[in-house]
Amino acid sequence: MDNNARYQNFLKNIYVGINGELYSPEDAKISVFDRGFLFGDSIYEVTYGENGKLIFFEDHIERLYNSARLLNMEIFISKEDIMKQTLQTLKAAQIPDAYVRIILTRGESELSLDPNLSYHNNLITIVKPKPIYSDKLYSHGLHLIISDVLRNDRRSTNPNAKSGNYLNNVMAHQQAKEKKADDAIMVNHEGHITEGTSFNIWCVKNGVIYTPPEKSGLLKGITRQKVIGICREKDFNLKIDNFTPEFILNADEVFITSSTKGLMPVFKLNETTINETAQDRPVMSELQKYYNKIIEIELARDEYCYF
Amino acid sequence: MDNNARYQNFLKNIYVGINGELYSPEDAKISVFDRGFLFGDSIYEVTYGENGKLIFFEDHIERLYNSARLLNMEIFISKEDIMKQTLQTLKAAQIPDAYVRIILTRGESELSLDPNLSYHNNLITIVKPKPIYSDKLYSHGLHLIISDVLRNDRRSTNPNAKSGNYLNNVMAHQQAKEKKADDAIMVNHEGHITEGTSFNIWCVKNGVIYTPPEKSGLLKGITRQKVIGICREKDFNLKIDNFTPEFILNADEVFITSSTKGLMPVFKLNETTINETAQDRPVMSELQKYYNKIIEIELARDEYCYF
């Protein structure tokens, strides 16, 4: 299927809300003067729902507000309205297992960098079926590369603000594809691993779990926070600390966390095979069990249901 | 005037072309699935015309292609078509002294970072009256700050690709406004001055002209290239080399170059007054005369006329 056909196919099962109104995907458009379009001056969140129940909605909304805070972005609508509009699009879509993307821009303004010209936001909510990742990805794992596109520095464009400035990640992802890998992780200016293009990164060495700290320059993933919580509660040996490409290439286990993927193993990093079966990943397997329990509990909560 | 009224006023004299079709500003919209909107995955150029004659059009188109090359962005339309569509919007606008913005995105794709899913571009051309900068700005000058928002590193998001990832600049600009200054210049990770939020920076010390090199992390401005040419042709003492905030704060003259502003003096940097009249800026004044001559010659060329 060529890219055009692929895009047309993608449009068939997608629902868009803009500022509280529902649009067909063909009509879901935004002004060319929207600052999100002109400057990437927008923030966003991605989460999903299962069986008509949205997952960790409050956490994502909380993080949306944190992104706004980091970018001094004024939010003119209420938190309740953002949540209401999101659920409205989900309800219209009638997709039980749904992916949802919430985009909030600094609205239209005359052509000027000055964000103080902003006077309203545009809120776009996009709903589509939750992507289904193959069993093989969960059992065998991902092939990642360590990109030589350095992660944006937090003193320049803070990766902890989940914004519409994603070229840095696009470039790293493209490099992975060129090398026939699934995706890429990125290093900061000090040579430390930070995060993947759209996920956090973890490794295990001699029974100790490692994940980079916020100060390395990363987005504090919701799933990352949950797994940190598990480590603390269940007395895993966790070190939130900087590590190098050399260190992770020599790890016993490597895995990622992401809102849509959960915990997913990495079988190969650059040209180095880490391991290829769940038996070789005792620590990750245990964390995964605990994480699945958290998801079960979350799914049983009778809040933020759309079906 | 509040920001909404200001925006409505701005829309009154603006013309937009999208993929060769003209739109009223209210109808000038782009799909929410456009990668420019989702990821800032777009490139752009800004130039202007006087008396119906576009300035340095080829240079800008050349640079657009260089931005695409730096971002591995495939351009599916011909150079001739990009130029034709730009002139078409200019002709429709019937504004003799016009500002023009040319935006080229990686088009729509399904929700994925993968730029290889791109199958076409969206080309947006925006025309409005050329902004008129007051005589005072050219005689007295600008007040700039040196922002502590570091410029994106060229190994992360290369500033020489003029892209839709402009939050870095937006944040620095906002900091300038907070400090009641006009705009900001930015420093790189090594502590060297790079460029302004939307202009290049220059200074003069003991008769030597300094401007930062490409490797500091900057966009090679068209006006910057013209002034470098003047320096070389007219035997000015030019040093394209790194310098620090301390160095520029102690300069004899400071000025900026930009396509829409030309050469414009800086009278104050942070809290330091550099100088306040043209008499104190003999080197810049001379360069300005030569630059004005280049503009005159360019304006007399019978090419890329729209009126």
The answer, for A180 touching chain B at a CB cutoff of 8 Å, is no
Inter-residue contact B237 to B244 (CB < 8 Å):
no
- What is the distance between the alpha carbons of residues A220 and B133, in angstroms, rounded to a whole number? 43
Domain boundary among A93, A109, A129: A129
In this structure, what token pair is assigned to residue B236? 């000015």
A176-225 confidence digits (pLDDT tens): 999 999 999 999 999 999 999 999 999 999 999 999 999 999 999 999 99
Q: Is residue B66 part of a domain?
A: yes
Q: Nearest C-alpha of chain B: how many angstroms from A197?
A: 8
Average pLDDT, chain A: 97
The answer, for B140 touching chain A at a CB cutoff of 8 Å, is no
- What is the distance between the alpha carbons of residues A17 and A38, in angstroms, rounded to a whole number? 21
Whether residues A106 and A149 fall in one domain: no
A28/B33 Cβ within 8 A: yes
Whether residues B289 and B236 fall in one domain: yes
Q: Nearest C-alpha of chain A: how many angstroms from B249?
A: 22
- Whose CA is closest to B23, among B129, B164, B127, B163? B127
- Res. B1: pLDDT tops 80: no
Write out residues 37-76 of A within 8 Å (CB-CB) of B. 37-42, 71-72
Percentage of residues in chain B having pLDDT higher than 70: 100
Domain boundary among B109, B129, B149: B129
- Res. B188: pLDDT tops 80: yes
Residue B115 with chain A: CB contacts under 8 Å: 170, 173-174
Q: Is residue A305 part of a domain?
A: no
A115/B174 Cβ within 8 A: yes
Report the SS3 class of residue B12: coil
Report the SS3 class of residue B208: strand
Looking at residue B257, its pLDDT comes to: 98
Mutate to test the interface with A, among B109, B157, B185, B195 (most CBs of A within 10 A): B157
- Whose CA is closest to A195, among A263, A146, A162? A146
| Exposure b/e, B263-272, CB count within 10 A at least 16 = b | bbbbbbbeee
Tell me the ipTM for this assembly: 0.97
Q: Is residue B303 part of a domain?
A: no
Whether residues B43 and B85 fall in one domain: yes
Q: Nearest C-alpha of chain B: how many angstroms from A235?
A: 36
B155/A152 Cβ within 8 A: no
Closest residue of B to A105, CA-based?
B37
Q: Is residue B28 part of a domain?
A: yes
Q: Is B100 exposed, middle or buried (0-12, 13-18, 19+ CB in 10 A)?
A: buried
Q: Nearest C-alpha of chain B: how many angstroms from A253?
A: 26
- At A28, is the pLDDT very low, low, confident or very high (cuts 50, 70, 90)? very high
Cβ atoms within 10 Å of A104's Cβ, excluding its own = 25
- Res. B214: pLDDT tops 80: yes
Average pLDDT, chain B: 97
Tokens 């150029």 locate to B45
Looking at residue B172, its pLDDT comes to: 98
**For the residues A25-46, what does the mean pLDDT come to?**
98
Residue A41 with chain B: CB contacts under 8 Å: 166-167, 170
Q: Is residue B307 part of a domain?
A: no
Whether residues A117 and A172 fall in one domain: no
CATH number where B279 lies: 3.20.10.10
Inter-residue contact A82 to A8 (CB < 8 Å):
no
Whether residues B93 and B145 fall in one domain: no
B4-17 confidence digits (pLDDT tens): 999 999 999 999 99
- Res. A1: pLDDT tops 80: no
B109/A166 Cβ within 8 A: no
Looking at residue A224, its pLDDT comes to: 98
- At B203, is the pLDDT very low, low, confident or very high (cuts 50, 70, 90)? very high
Inter-residue contact B254 to B269 (CB < 8 Å):
yes
Looking at residue B44, its pLDDT comes to: 98
* Upper half-sphere CA count for residue B284 (Cβ side, 13 Å): 31
Whether residues A80 and A173 fall in one domain: no
Residue A89 with chain B: CB contacts under 8 Å: none
- What is the distance between the alpha carbons of residues B58 and B105, in angstroms, rounded to a whole number? 19
> CB within 8 A of A89, min separation 6: which ones?
A15, A16, A17, A22, A100, A125, A126, A127
Whether residues B168 and B124 fall in one domain: no
DSSP alpha helix (H) spans, A197-281: 222-233, 245-249
The answer, for B3 touching chain A at a CB cutoff of 8 Å, is yes
- Separation in Å, CA B135 to CA A51, A82, A106, B256, B269: 65, 46, 32, 16, 20
Whether residues A180 and A143 fall in one domain: yes
Whether residues B289 and B145 fall in one domain: yes
Percentage of residues in chain A having pLDDT higher than 70: 100
Whether residues A260 and A112 fall in one domain: no
Q: Is residue B304 part of a domain?
A: no
Whether residues A227 and A278 fall in one domain: yes
- Whose CA is closest to B87, among B15, B12, B11? B15
Domain boundary among B73, B107, B129: B129
Q: Is residue A303 part of a domain?
A: no
Number of domains in chain A: 2
Whether residues B291 and B209 fall in one domain: yes
CATH number where A30 lies: 3.30.470.10
* Residues of the domain holding B192: 135-297
> CB within 8 A of A176, min separation 6: which ones?
A144, A145, A147, A182, A183, A184, A197
A84-137 confidence digits (pLDDT tens): 999 999 999 999 999 999 999 999 999 999 999 999 999 999 999 999 999 999
Q: Nearest C-alpha of chain A: how many angstroms from B227?
A: 25
Q: Is residue B305 part of a domain?
A: no
